Homo-oligomer: A and B are copies of this chain.
């Protein structure tokens, strides 16, 4: 019985039993007489012992019970994006049921900084999750591989040794594009997610699309073309945020030869475009149609309801949780691709006469 916090040994001594018996009293992982357990618990209360020290348990079992979640970006930005939040929420819920905790790991921020957070290198975790895709030769993924940490990549490219969970964004974007074409639109502009870590902002040449490093961005461009849309203008944004969408909207719509529709790669960008249109006195969809992607709830856009491609965000998080469980059991889960669905709102309509 040391002067520090009591240990299981102290409790066992006080209760007059062996350490292993005391352990059983707490874990319930073996036969133990009810009376003995009582005695141990009483001793624990007496000593102010609040249960086995997790550190000891973890070393012994080789498991930390922790899932490291690398958010795709600086927290502030990542967490202003309801898409990440909802996935994270679904994930935490599922992991919570399995008694796993989520360790937040900041992803790569500006290109100047070292691309790998120290936590990736040395935090205790049983599994890692990359919340927003992985680039080619991703340094974070490389580090996790070297450590032998099994990993789930959300919206990543399937590779032999990582599990992936994603959505069929290509098909969804194609549906959205087709919807606009069916409405008669031909002069369609596109507001895109970032191409890469450089996060440029502004109109880009169509050729540059091929250079986009981020897979989500690439796939949504591909879907757009599948749907028969060759954009008259492409605006790259540095992040999926309302203000960048608004900037894009101003740049694209404040001119005589403006497009009749704007197809955006995210809902936040799209809602920024809607706000910019309102600001410019343009009617939506009378003068310009706007469509997004994600299926977010955007109460402040009222009375408008954004036309969008809805993806099952919380379900995505839950699927990631399931993949984590698989990896913990030593299996390699099959890639998951969740379906998406075009949801027509009030922001798209026939091309103006």
Contact residues, A303-331 vs B (CB, 8 A):
303, 314
Chain B residues in 8 Å Cβ range of A35 = none
Cβ contacts A269-313/B at 8 Å (1 or 0 each)? 001100100010000000000000000000111110000000000
Chain B residues in 8 Å Cβ range of A314 = 76
Which of A9-17, A98-106, A133-141, A173-181 has 4 or more CB atoms under 8 Å from chain B? A98-106
Contact residues, A48-100 vs B (CB, 8 A):
48, 50-52, 54-56, 58-59, 62, 64-66, 74-76, 79-80, 82, 85-86, 88-89, 92-93, 96, 99
Contacting pair A148 B65 (CB below 8 A): no
CA–CA, A127 and B146, complex, Å: 30
Contacting pair A64 B96 (CB below 8 A): no
Among A76, A123, A246, find the residue whose CB has the most chain B CB atoms closer than 10 A: A76
A residues within 8 Å of B by Cβ? 5, 48, 50-52, 54-56, 58-59, 62, 64-66, 74-76, 79-80, 82, 85-86, 88-89, 92-93, 96, 99, 101-106, 117-119, 121-124, 146-148, 242-243, 246, 271-272, 275, 279, 299-303, 314
- Sampled A-B contacts (9; CB under 8 Å): A50-B147, A51-B121, A54-B64, A55-B124, A75-B92, A75-B93, A101-B123, A102-B103, A272-B300
Chain B residues in 8 Å Cβ range of A74 = 89
Not counting A55-B59, A75-B92, A99-B118, a sample of 17 additional A-B residue pairs whose C-beta atoms are within 8 angstroms of each other reads A51-B122, A54-B122, A54-B124, A55-B124, A56-B59, A58-B58, A65-B123, A66-B103, A96-B106, A96-B118, A99-B119, A101-B123, A242-B300, A243-B299, A271-B300, A272-B300, A275-B299
CB contact between A146 and one of B48, B76, B148 (< 8 Å): that residue = B48
CA–CA, A275 and B314, complex, Å: 28
In angstroms, how far is the closest chain B Cβ from the Cβ of A245? Answer: 9
Contacting pair A88 B92 (CB below 8 A): no
Contacting pair A85 B76 (CB below 8 A): yes
Chain B residues in 8 Å Cβ range of A117 = 96
In angstroms, how far is the closest chain B Cβ from the Cβ of A273? Answer: 12
CA–CA, A119 and B95, complex, Å: 11
CB contact between A58 and one of B55, B88, B103 (< 8 Å): that residue = B55
Chain B residues in 8 Å Cβ range of A86 = 76
